[in-house]
C-alpha cells in the first residue's frame, strides 16, 4: 500500500462558523452580545416544544447545546434569550461566507450551512501556505460579515475537520503533513467519521477508547470483529484519508459557445477566424457576468465525428477575447492534426470575480500567464502566428446549430 508520504501532500482547509445561528443574531442585535442566546424557541411561545438548533458560547457554559430539547434547555439556563430561527437570514449569511471562500479558490465544497472544505494545494504558490490563507480567510470573513470562523488546515479532509473544531471559537489549528496520526491519537474514537455510539461501544469492548488505541490495534483482530470496515477505520485513525474536495457544480459553471461548420474544413483561415469569433463571444459573456475564467476548454470534432476536448488552467483569470484566443489557439495546435474539422467549441470555467491571485500578479515581475503562452506559441509556431490582423478574412456565419453550452 502506498504510504501517505508517497502521494503529493495536499493542503486542505475546513472552515466552520462559530455558533452560527446564534452569532448572526448577536451581530444583528448588539444587546444580545455576551448573553446566553439559544436558537430554537417554539415560535408559538412557551417552553415546551422543539429542540435547540444551536446555542451561543455563553449558553454552552450552562450545558445547553444543539439537539437538546428546549424544555431541558430552559431548566439549565432559565435566563437565556430564546429565539425562533430565522432561516432565510442564516441562509443569506451562508451564501456570503461561501462567496468569500470562493475568492480564495474555486475548489470549495460546502458541506453544511456553515462549513466548507477548500483544497488550496494548487493555489499555494500564488497565495501562500495553508496557514497564511487561513488567516486571510478568517480576517475576510470577520471584516465583511462581523462573524467568526474556526479553521483547520491539514493534508486530509478528516484531519482538517477535526482540527477546525479543536480551538473553537475563532480558532486556527494547523496539522503539518506527517503529524496527522500523532494529532489524532489522544482524541476519542467517536471523532472519526463513521463512529457512532454503537461502533463506539463495539470498539470499547476491544479496549479501544482513543483514536491512538484504534491505530495501534492488531489489524487481524479488528477485521475479525468489524470486517473490511475495520480496515478502513484503522486507516482513518492513522490519518490516511484520500477523499477529495468536490467543488460544487463544477460542470454547471461554464460559459461556452460552439459552432458547426456548414461544410467540414481544413482551411487554416476559416479555422482561426472561427476560434477568434468564439473566443470573443465567450469573453463578452464573461464580462457581462463580471467573471474571469481560469480554465479554458477547446472542443474539437473532426469529419469522422471524433470529438476531443482539451483544456488548460491558468494561474489567473481571463476575460478578454484576445487573451482567451491565444490560449485556445495553443490548445487547437495541440490537437489539430490537419484533418477536416466539423465543429469547434470554446468554453470557460473555474471562475472568480476579483481573485486575490490577480493582485499578486499585478506587481509581479514575471511575465503574465498570457505573455508566457504567447512566448510558447511563438516558439512553436513562429513569431507571426498570433498576429490577429491576418485572421480577419471572412468570419463564419452563425448557424442554427450553434449553441451556448452553459
Which residues are near ligand TTP by CB under 6 A?
16-21, 53-54, 66-67, 113-115, 168-169
Beta partners for 81? Answer: 37
User: Is residue 155 classed as helix, strand or coil in its secondary structure?
Assistant: coil
By C-beta, is 17 or 341 nearer to Mg ion?
17
Residue closer to ligand TTP, measured from CB, 116 or 343: 116
* CB of residue 192 to Mg ion, shortest distance in Å: 19
Q: Is the dihedral of CA 26, 31, 35, 38 positive or negative?
A: negative
Q: Which three cell numbers stand for residue 396?
A: 463564419
Question: Cβ 245 to ligand TTP, closest distance in Å?
Answer: 18
Told to judge if 115 belongs to the known catalytic residues of this protein, a careful annotator would answer: yes
Near Mg ion by CB under 5 A, which window of 80-88, 108-116, 208-216, 393-401?
A: 108-116
CA distance 81 to 61: 14
- In the set 93, 115, 180, 396, the catalytic residue is 115
Concatenating the DSSP letter of every residue in 323-382 gives: HHHHHHHHHHHHH--S--EEEEEEEEEEEESS-HHHHHHHT--SPPHHHHHHHHHHHHH-
Question: Closest Cα to residue 117, out of 10, 15, 218?
Answer: 15
Contact 258, 232 (CB under 8 A): no
21 binds, among ligand TTP, Mg ion, none (CB under 5 to 8 A by kind): ligand TTP
By beta-carbon proximity to ligand TTP, the closer residue of 190 and 310 is 190
Contact criterion met (CB below 8 Å) for 114 and 106: no
Q: Is 114 one of the binding residues for Mg ion (CB under 5 A)?
A: yes
CA–CA dist 254, 119 (Å, integer): 20
CB of 104 to ligand TTP, least distance (A): 20
| Residue 67 binding: pick among ligand TTP, Mg ion, none (C-beta 5-8 Å cut-off by kind) | ligand TTP
- Strand 172-174 to strand 149-154: parallel, antiparallel, or no bridges (unpaired)? parallel
206-231 core/surface letters (b: 16 or more CB in 10 A; e: else): bebebbbbbbebeeeebeeebeeebe
Closest to ligand TTP by CB, 109 or 115: 115
Kindly tell me which of 98 and 226 has the beta carbon lying closer to Mg ion: 98
Least separation in angstroms between residue 33's CB and ligand TTP is 16
Among 13, 15, 16, 172, contact with Mg ion (rule: CB under 5 A): 16
Residue 66 contact partner, candidates ligand TTP, Mg ion, none, CB within 5 to 8 A by sort of partner: ligand TTP
Peptide bond into 169 cis (omega under 30): yes
Q: How far is the CB of 81 from Mg ion (least distance, A)?
A: 19
- Using the rule CB under 5 A, which residue among 12, 13, 17, 116 binds Mg ion? 17
- Please identify every residue annotated as catalytic: 115
Q: Which positions lie near Mg ion, rule CB under 5 A?
A: 16-17, 20, 114
Amino acid at each position: 500500500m502506498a504510504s501517505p508520504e508517497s502521494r503529493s501532500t495536499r493542503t486542505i482547509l475546513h472552515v466552520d462558523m462559530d455558533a452560527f445561528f446564534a452569532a448572526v443574531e448577536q451581530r444583528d442585535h448588539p444587546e444580545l452580545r455576551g448573553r446566553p442566546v439559544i436558537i430554537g424557541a417554539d415560535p408559538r411561545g412557551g417552553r415546551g416544544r422543539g429542540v435547540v438548533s444551536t446555542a451561543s458560547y455563553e449558553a454552552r457554559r450552562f450545558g445547553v447545546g444543539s439537539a437538546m430539547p428546549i424544555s431541558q434547555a430552559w431548566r439549565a439556563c432559565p435566563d437565556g434569550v430564546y429565539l425562533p430561527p430565522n432561516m432565510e437570514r442564516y441562509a443569506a449569511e451562508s451564501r456570503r461566507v461561501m462567496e468569500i471562500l470562493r475568492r480564495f479558490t474555486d475548489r470549495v465544497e460546502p458541506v453544511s450551512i456553515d462549513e466548507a472544505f477548500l483544497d488550496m494545494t494548487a493555489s499555494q504558490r500564488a497565495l501562500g501556505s495553508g496557514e497564511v490563507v487561513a488567516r486571510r480567510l478568517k480576517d475576510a470573513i470577520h471584516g465583511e460579515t462581523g462573524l467568526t470562523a474556526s479553521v483547520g488546515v491539514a493534508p486530509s479532509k478528516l484531519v482538517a475537520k477535526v482540527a477546525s473544531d479543536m480551538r473553537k471559537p475563532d480558532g486556527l489549528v494547523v496539522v503539518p503533513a506527517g503529524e496527522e496520526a500523532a494529532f489524532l491519537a489522544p482524541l476519542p474514537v467517536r471523532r472519526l467519521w463513521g463512529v457512532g455510539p454503537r461502533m463506539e461501544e463495539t470498539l470499547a469492548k476491544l479496549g479501544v477508547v482513543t483514536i491512538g488505541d484504534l491505530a495501534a490495534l492488531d489489524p487481524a483482530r479488528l477485521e475479525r470483529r468489524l470486517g473490511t470496515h475495520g480496515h478502513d477505520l484503522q486507516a482513518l485513525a492513522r490519518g490516511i484519508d484520500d477523499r477529495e474536495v468536490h467543488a460544487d457544480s463544477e460542470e454547471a459553471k461554464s460559459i461556452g459557445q460552439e459552432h458547426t461548420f456548414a461544410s467540414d474544413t481544413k482551411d487554416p483561415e476559416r479555422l482561426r477566424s472561427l476560434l477568434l469569433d468564439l473566443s470573443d463571444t465567450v469573453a463578452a459573456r464573461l464580462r457581462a457576468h463580471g467573471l474571469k475564467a481560469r480554465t479554458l476548454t477547446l472542443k474539437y470534432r473532426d469529419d469522422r465525428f471524433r470529438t476531443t476536448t482539451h483544456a488548460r488552467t491558468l494561474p489567473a483569470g481571463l476575460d478578454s477575447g484576445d487573451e482567451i484566443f491565444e490560449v485556445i489557439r495553443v490548445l487547437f495546435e495541440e490537437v489539430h492534426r490537419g484533418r477536416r474539422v466539423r465543429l469547434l467549441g470554446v468554453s470557460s470555467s473555474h471562475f472568480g470575480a476579483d481573485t486575490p491571485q490577480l493582485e499578486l500578479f499585478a506587481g509581479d515581475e514575471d511575465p503574465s500567464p498570457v505573455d508566457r503562452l504567447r512566448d510558447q506559441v511563438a516558439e512553436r509556431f513562429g513569431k507571426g502566428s498570433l498576429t490577429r490582423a491576418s485572421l480577419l478574412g471572412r468570419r463564419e456565419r452563425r448557424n442554427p446549430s450553434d449553441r451556448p453550452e452553459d
